[in-house]
Amino acid sequence: MAATLLLLTGTVFAVEIAELRNGFTIPHRTRETRADQVRLYLDDQRKSFVDVPSAEIEGYSSAPDPQPALDTAKSSKSTGQIVSEAADKNGVDSDFIQSVIRQESSGNANAVSRAGARGLMQLMPATATHLGVKNSFSPEQNVHGGTRYLKELLERYNGDAVKALAAYNAGPAAVDRYNGVPPYRETRQYVQRIVRDYNKSKGTSAKDKAAKTISPEEHDTVQRAAK
């Protein structure tokens, strides 16, 4: 079956938005549909792209051209390198940061949630401003900003990773109000998934598991909350 290439036209609404079933949106310049896959080209040169199963796309919409969002996602460093630098600078475990990124955006630097959170660590505009992040679609700015925020939350809750994660998702006010993970299904599942992913990443040796994983008490708290 011949590939179908849809070129965007017009000058007012220059960018098309793919709306995904998981709540993310992906701005792109053009798209190409092949069988059950859609390739979304993120730049005019069609050098940067992401493949998405057709079944995961609910629809498309248009938006004014957010040129910085599409152009500044470029970096000479890999996400792993950026995370390592942010981890060293802020004293936050790199595997913990990676687990947050996997849950927040699945590693998509151009991800935008329906609520407006942006980039790898899904920073809300107000949070990005607080952190001094000028462009949330820049992998380096986003990861360094998101890591600083994680550090702030870990310090606020005396190293309690579960409360810090809950606050990252639902906001510190909600965690303070309930003195722990708030009774929001989304937040409970969010924390549980990151705890599971992080502990799995640290399960390569008994030494790492004993030294770095989230404690059994914290894990049990999440398991109870998620039921």
Active centre residues (catalytic): 104
Give CA–CA dist 107/18, Å, rounded: 17
- DSSP structural state of residue 111: -
Alpha helices in 16-138 (DSSP H): 67-71, 79-90, 94-105, 125-131
Torsion of CA 203, 162, 109, 127, to 10 degrees: -160
- DSSP structural state of residue 43: S
Whether 96 contacts 44, CB under 8 Å? no
Write the CB contacts of 168 (distance below 8 Å, at least 6 apart in sequence).
100, 149, 150, 153
How would you label 143-153 residue by residue, b for 16+ Cβ within 10 Å and e otherwise?
bbbbbbbbbbb
Give CA–CA dist 91/83, Å, rounded: 11
| Length, in residues, of the chain | 227
